[in-house]
Amino acid sequence: MKATHTNADMSHQNSISYQFGEFLNSLEENGILSTLRKIGQRLSYKVKGVDFSTQNIYDLTRVGEHKEHGTALVSTSKDFLTKLIHDLENSIGKPIKKSVFIDYGSGKGAAIIHAKSLGFERTVGVEFAKELHETAQKNIEKLKLDNVNSFYADATTYLVPLDVSVIYLFNPFDEVVMKKLIANILEQKENFENDVYLIYGNASLDILKNSFELINKISYPSGSTADFYKI
Ligand SMILES: C[S@@+](CC[C@H](N)C(=O)[O-])C[C@H]1O[C@@H](n2cnc3c(N)ncnc32)[C@H](O)[C@@H]1O
């Protein structure tokens, strides 16, 4: 388990040297074709003015009672999310129903935007930092996407839609918030319309296994990890 560094400074991830290191990691982990595709996609986002850059949150306007319990914005890449959905399906041995994908702590909307392109009918993001939520809305507009929505709210106040199939968490917050989110999910569980899976990227907490079934845990060569749960 990684530590949860709430309000950490992650701005070094925007530096050229960090990005070059990422490029080398990607070459090693995914090969040249996938890395070139990734670079092409980044350039296309740049041209369209889509912004998924890393951002600290300590100076942002945050709603709710958990201002000190969140992690900095680091966006999920499309390659990583593609891998996560693929590994979830491999872990359960069947395709998942791609109804609603919800991301708690959705930042600039990267995961909800990528999930839509991976075939989910509707994707929902919940983000407590106003400036990040507004960037997410602009990104969605620039890419002209339907059925992709970012909501400005604390994760504990936005209930999971009942037609959900995947709940996504990319190490967004600490135990205080996680416990409340787990309690909300357990309360709603009976009314879910589909089998529901939770993907916890770069997990810093293992308390989810007390409430949900841990299906698989994967460590990727890049250093990222994912825990897969069935609700
Ligand atoms: C590591 S980033 C993940 C961003 C996004 N999920 C992605 O994968 O691209 C964590 C995000 O969680 C948000 N966050 C932290 N605590 C939150 C809370 N209590 N409610 C809603 N969002 C929160 C932060 O502002 C940050 O944008």
Note the pLDDT of residue 15: 78
pLDDT at position 10 is 77
pLDDT for residue 227:
98
Q: In testing the pocket of ligand 1, which one of 173, 175, 177, 178 has its CB within 8 Å of the most ligand atoms?
A: 173
User: How far away, in angstroms, is 89 Cα from ligand 1 center?
Assistant: 25
Please report which residue ranges of the chain form alpha helices under DSSP H: 16-48, 78-92, 110-117, 130-142, 175-188
Instruction: Give the per-residue pLDDT at 213.
Output: 98
- The alpha carbon of 72 and the centre of ligand 1 are apart by a number of angstroms equal to 7
Residue type, 147: N
Residues 160-206 have pLDDT tens digits of 999 999 999 999 999 999 999 999 999 999 999 999 999 999 999 99
CA distance 76 to 114: 9
Please give the structure tokens belonging to residue 173.
């917050």
Give the pTM: 0.94
CB 223 within 8 A of CB 24: no
What domains can be seen in the chain, in order of their start residue?
67-230 (3.40.50.150)
Average pLDDT by stretches of 10, the chain with 231 residues = 73 77 79 85 91 93 96 93 97 97 98 98 98 98 97 98 98 97 97 97 96 97 93 98
Quote the pLDDT of residue 37: 85
pLDDT of res. 1: 65
User: Quick one: pLDDT at residue 116?
Assistant: 98
Ligand 1 surroundings by CB, under 6 angstroms:
57, 66, 70-71, 73-76, 103, 105-107, 110-111, 126-129, 132, 154-155, 170-173, 177
